[in-house]
Amino acid sequence: MTTLLKAQSLVRTLPLTVPVTLVQDISLEIDHGEFVAIMGPSGSGKSSLLYLLGLLDIPTSGRLWLDGQETSGFDEDTLADIRLSKLGFVFQFHFLLAEFTALDNVMLPMRKLAKLSELQIQQRAEQLLKDLGMADHRHKRPDQLSGGQRQRVAIARALANDPLIILADEPTGNLDSVSSANVKEILRDLATHQGKTIITVTHDPVFAKAADRRIGLVDGRIDDQWVHPGLQK
């Protein structure tokens, strides 16, 4: 497998009155099709690291390569364009747009990218929802769906522009066990059968077990010795 994402000495410090360092000197490489779980205690900088890897946040120092392209120094619009075409996000709370139907939510990133015709966009969105078992619910708005269904729509939306990487921030954190298992299977399947790279932040040891690799994070640094209590033998 080849390296898709490479971080070198990433540091993120919030410039407050007393500066707060969220991520300290993190270097890592993630390959194509790899399923990586980032774990760690609360406040260890898991989400902050995910935002840096997902180009949502800009590191205070350090370098980051995505698909062979160094992203340091890119302006906000260029980073937004990369996010649109190469990355997909799934959050703990589904974050679907409340006034839009499931289908519209999935079509939104494709409409923004504007590489397909409106008909093709609709067909692809319907197919994605169908693949995730949401075909019958495509015309429902988020408030008419269950938590698990919303998260599946959010995954479909993340997949809309056929991204290289899906970044998920505690995607099962707000779901019951059945829905969690369902989301875990979907993400695992995306990595195994569709070659998508999955980077997820999770507290859930069962979900983390599905990952190819687990990265422990303590106080903003990678700690290879840290193991989630639920995964300790």
Partner 1 sequence: MRLQLGIAVTHLLARKRQTLVSLSGIVLGTAFFLAVSALMQGSEKDFIKRLVDNSPHITVSDEYRGADIQPADMKWPDAAVNIRSVKPQTEVRGIRGHQQKLAFIESIPGLRVAPALTGSVVLTFAGRIQGVSLTGLVPESMREVSSIEEKMIEGSLEALNVNPNGIIVGIGLINKFKLAMGRNVTVTTSDGVVRSMKIVGIFRTGTANYDETQTYALLKKVQSLLNRPNRVNRFVIQLNDPNKARDVATIIEQRIGYKSVSWLEASEDIMSLLTVRNVIMYSVVTAILVVAAFGIYNTISTIVMEKTRDIAIMKSMGFHASDIRLIFLSEGLIVGLVGSLLGILLGLGLMWILDQVTLPVSQFGGPTHLPVYRGQRQFFIAFGFAMISAIAASYLPANKGGRVHPVDILRGSM
- Per CB under 8 A, residues contacting partner 1 are 47-48, 51, 54, 56-57, 76-77, 80-85, 89, 91-93, 95, 97-100, 108-109, 111-114, 157, 169-170
For every residue of 109-152, which 3-state class applies, written as one string? Answer: HHHHHCCCCHHHHHHHHHHHHHHCCCHHHCCCCHHHCCHHHHHH
By residue count, the chain amounts to 233
Cα separation, 233 vs 223, whole angstroms: 18
Task: Return the number of the residue (77 or 224) whose C-beta is nearest partner 1.
Answer: 77
Nearest CB to partner 1, comparing residues 76 and 224: 76
H or E element in which residue 26 lies = strand 20-31
State the Cα–Cα distance between residues 154 and 88, nearest whole angstrom: 10
Residue whose CB is less far from partner 1, 67 or 212? 67
Residue among 16 and 178 whose Cβ is closer to partner 1: 16
Which CB atom, from 65 or from 95, has the smaller least distance to partner 1?
A: 95
Residue 203 amino acid letter: H
Minimum distance, C-beta of residue 224 to partner 1, in the bound complex (Å): 25
Tell me whether residue 29 or residue 140 sits nearer to partner 1 (CB atom). 140
- Asked if 143 and 101 count as a contact pair (C-beta separation under 8 A), the reply is no
Contact 183, 151 (CB under 8 A): yes
Give the phi and the psi of residue 119 in degrees, each rounded to 5.
Answer: -65, -45
**Residue 61 Cβ, how far from partner 1 at the closest point, in Å?**
17
Opening angle at CA 116, ends 110 and 122, nearest 5: 65
Nearest distance, CB of residue 185 and partner 1, angstroms: 24
CB of 21 to partner 1, least distance (A): 15
232 phi/psi in degrees, rounded to 5: -70, 140
Q: Which two structure tokens, joined as six digits, stand for 167?
A: 């970044």
- State the nearest-atom distance from the C-beta of 49 to partner 1, in Å: 12
CB of 112 to partner 1, least distance (A): 6
